[in-house]
Chain A
Amino acid sequence: MGAREVIVEDVHKRYGRVEALRGTSLTVGRGEIFGLLGPNGAGKTTLMRSLVGVSRPDAGTLTVLGLDPYRQARALRPQIGYMPQAPALYEELSARDNLLFFGRAHDAQGLGERVERALEFIGLSARSRDPIYGFSGGMKQRVSLACALLHEPRVLLLDEPTAGVDPKLREVFWQHFRALAAAGVTILVSTHQMDEALLCDRLAILRAGRVLVCETPKELFARGRSHVRIWRNGTAIDRTLDDSAVRLPGLLQEFGLDPKIDRIEIEQDSLERIVLALIGADAPNAHQKDTARELQA
């Protein structure tokens, strides 16, 4: 991990009776793509809003690029790009006019050229003069992302950036995020999509305002189990192994070189199953089924 550019320490935030963040802590290094994964209401958006200084935490400390997002918002904001969950665009205006408007806030040099490049990147050059209200949800997301990238920020905070975006364009977006990260841009991204979560350098699993684990996707996978099914004489024998790399040879030894074995099937736990198990372990009686449904959705 490079220099720590986003630091969250024991942050609490309450909205009335709801405790959105309960002692959340994490750090994100320079040039890192850091994923926030969790069900609805886990606190992902509240954390993002706190990091851009539009939500004031009740307790704890937040630092982005060495600055307090709440007290030093004016110094920080030109250096961050934020894409909220809702498109947050002016529906009557065109994509170009929206980009120009948000770009003018930053006094960015060569704004016209930047806007053209951004429109090309999101694949909307041909429809750049059409009003936003005629756009699909995915197209609005693309314009919203372009607004966040326009001024070339050092830290990007993306709240579900690819919701409603088709798989091909999603791949283009992630290639771009990778290129930005390689150039030193720090990216904090919240997502529901498990395949996207795997593209992050590190992941924090959030539930009810707490970070349950904060690991690389590889480390998370290591928490999973292998489900081995051995077919012998047409009968299935099932075994579950905690660490297949270590335990599989032992299992195979148990059966020896039995000529009656027809087939061996090995299935690794998916990230989704691992995450659900983590969330379930944290709150075995608390709406686990709902959480599973949300994540599967």
Chain B
Amino acid sequence: MSSRLRRLGAVARRVLQQLSRDSRFLILSVAAPLAVIYLLKVFLDTMAVPFIDSTTLAIPIGAFIVHFVTYVLCAIVLVRERTAQTLQRMFVSGYRRPEIIGGYVLAYSVIATVQSSLVLVELRALFGLAYPTETLLSIYAVIWLLAVISIAFGICVSNFARTEGQVFPLIPLVILPSVFLSGIIIDVDRLPVWAQWLSHVIPLYYANLGLQALMIPGARLLDSWQSLLSLAAYGVGVLAAGTLTLRERD
């Protein structure tokens, strides 16, 4: 194994060690989306719009909840490292930017995997999703990929904050446009042209496209390949941006 990969693994291992010693954080990060999805079920049942299948709303909103929780959890991590001066110490010790970002994404992907799995299980149980196993796995792939991108997105955003307090205004700045412009509530085509362009920089837009394609009866993973590819490319872009914007020096 190359020394770069070894160091990336060391960062991931250290982050997981830290997370494993914070049981409250772990429980909340997994339980919070599950509780919100239950409230979503109550809301959609109460709303009961005729001729609208609640599952077509539940799956994209479930994906949004995973995106939101994962993004918020990660938006603060590097700021904490910076204020504690451990980030500076990592750099001086010889850790490099891609190893630090990669290690964080790898470690938080473990949480994202558990979170995405439980969210899908809950969605299936509450909304009685009657999709074949292949479609369900495809939906899982989209939600999981979105969760991993949310990690990178959160880390990237946290590079622009110097203190933990500066992170908070950045949270609604990213999350609320996702709700309005990603297509989960209204069709993107109905938005003004400039807003349609803006929707293209929102990761949830690509995830929603993929999920909508998969929810058509008889759909397969390949049917949403364009969205998956866009989502993957988006992830690579955000990772690169996160790595390049991580300040090593002042």
Contact = CB atoms under 8 A, between A and B. Distances in A.
A84 interface: yes
A54 B91 contact: yes
A42 B96 CA distance: 30
Interface stretch (A29-37, A74-82, A192-200, A239-247): A74-82
Interface stretch (A99-107, A211-219, A279-287): A99-107
Interface stretch (B6-14, B122-130, B193-201, B205-213): B6-14
A175 interface: no
Interface in A15-36: none
Interface in B228-250: 248-250
Nearest to B86: A88
Contacts of B47: none
B248 A54 contact: yes
A52 B13 CA distance: 26
Contacts of A70: 249
A55 B250 contact: yes
B86 A105 contact: no
B170 to A, nearest CB: 23
A84 B249 contact: no
Contact of B94 (A77, A89, A97): A77
Given A54-B248, A56-B249, A104-B6, A92 B91 contact: no
Contacts of B86: 88-90
Tell which of B7, B14, B21, B94 has the most Cβ of chain A within 10 Å.
B94
Given A55-B250, A70-B249, A77-B94, A107 B88 contact: no
B46 interface: no
**Chain B, interface SS category:** helix
A90 B13 CA distance: 13
B180 interface: no
Interface string B148-178: 0000000000000000000000000000000
Interface residues of A, number: 30
- Residue among B3, B18, B92, B248 with most chain A CB within 10 A: B92
Contacts of A97: 14, 17
A54 B250 contact: yes
A102 B96 CA distance: 13
Contact of A104 (B7, B84, B85, B92): B7
A102 B17 contact: no
A106 B93 contact: yes
Contact of B88 (A54, A104, A106): A54
A147 interface: yes
Interface string B5-31: 011001001100110011000000000
B18 A54 contact: no
Interface in B61-77: none
A84 B85 contact: yes
Contacts of B89: 82, 84, 88, 102, 147
B219 interface: no
Interface in A44-87: 49, 52-56, 70, 73-74, 77-78, 80, 82, 84, 86
A55 B3 CA distance: 26
Q: Give the residue among B85, B89, B248 with the most A Cβ atoms within 10 A.
A: B89
Contacts of A78: 94
A93 interface: yes
A88 B249 contact: no
B21 to A, nearest CB: 4
A157 B96 CA distance: 20
Nearest to B85: A88
Contact of B7 (A82, A90, A93, A105): A105
A93 B21 CA distance: 8
A147 to B, nearest CB: 7
Given A54-B92, A102-B93, A104-B7, A90 B249 contact: no
Contact of B14 (A53, A77, A93): A93
Those 7 A-B pairs whose CB atoms lie nearest each other, nearest first: A105-B93, A104-B10, A88-B85, A105-B94, A88-B89, A92-B21, A101-B14
Given A88-B84, A101-B14, A131-B21, 10 more contacts: A54-B248, A73-B248, A74-B96, A77-B94, A82-B89, A91-B84, A93-B14, A102-B90, A106-B94, A147-B89
6 contacts: A54-B88, A54-B250, A86-B85, A90-B14, A92-B18, A147-B93
